[in-house]
Amino acid sequence: MRLALAQLEIESAAVEDNRERAEAAVAEAADRGADLVALPEIFNVGYFAFDAYQRAAEPVEGPTLSRIADAAREHGIGVLAGSIVEDLAETESVETPADEGLANTSVLFDRDGRRLAVYRKHHLFGYESAEARMLVPGESLGVAEFEGATVGMTTCYDLRFPELYRDIAAEGADLILVPSAWPYPRVEHWQLLPRARAVENQLFVAAINGSGEFDDAELLGRSTVYDPWGTTLAGTGDDPDLVVTDVDLDRVAAVREEFPAWRDRRL
Q: Is the CB of residue 189 less than 8 Å from the CB of residue 155?
A: no
CB-based burial label for 239 (10 Å; 0-12, 13-18, 19+): exposed
Query: Residue 159's closest CA among 116, 117, 208?
Result: 208
Active-site residue (options: 9, 58, 121, 131): 121
Instruction: For residue 156, indicate whether it is catalytic.
Output: yes
Secondary structure class of 150 (helix, strand, coil): strand
The CA distance from 149 to 169, in Å, is 12
Question: Using CA atoms, how far apart are residues 152 and 127, in angstroms rounded to an integer?
Answer: 25
139 classed as catalytic = no
Tell me, yes or no, if 121 is annotated catalytic. Answer: yes
- Residues 177 and 80 sit within 8 Å (Cβ to Cβ): yes
Catalytic residue among 9, 58, 131, 156: 156
From 9, 41, 58, 131, active-site residue: 41
Indicate which residues carry an active-site annotation: 41, 121, 156
